[in-house]
Amino acid sequence: MRLSKFSVFILTVSALALSTRLNAQNRDLRGDYRDVQHDYAQLDRLRADIARDRFQLDQARRAGDRYAARRIKHDLDRDQHAARALEHDIRHDRRDIRHDQRELYRDGYSR
């Protein structure tokens, strides 16, 4: 009798721990998806800024305005650096998503 109560207790605790772990992994995965979507939106805005800066730089160079061209080039370099950093962050987040998915499916969890 004691052995069966103990077995039920162990099974209950194990099931609770597993469900808590799966919920935490699901929250982490949803957060990663949200982060990637936010990063892609931000990257699109940066790409639009870069295209606008390139156009303005071309216009300033044609007009012979060196001061404006230098200022725009500085802004363009800053935006390109931010875009590269964001692309790196997106690659890292997507790798994290694949890792989280593998862990969920490894445990026999299905959507």
DSSP 58-69: HHHHHHT-HHHH
- Could you list the residue range(s) of the whole structural domain that residue 77 is in? 2-106
d(C-alpha 16, C-alpha 3), whole Å: 20
Number of domains, the chain: 1
- Contacts of residue 18, defined as CB under 8 A and 6 or more positions apart, other chains included, come to 107
pLDDT for res 18:
54
Judge whether 111 lies within some domain.
Answer: no
d(C-alpha 81, C-alpha 76), whole Å: 9
Judge whether 66 lies within some domain.
Answer: yes
- Tokens representing 100? 């989280």
Listed as ranges, residues in the chain with pLDDT below 70 are 1-3, 5-27, 107-111
Specify the DSSP class assigned to residue 108: T
pLDDT for res 41:
95
Judge whether 75 lies within some domain.
Answer: yes
Judge whether 82 lies within some domain.
Answer: yes
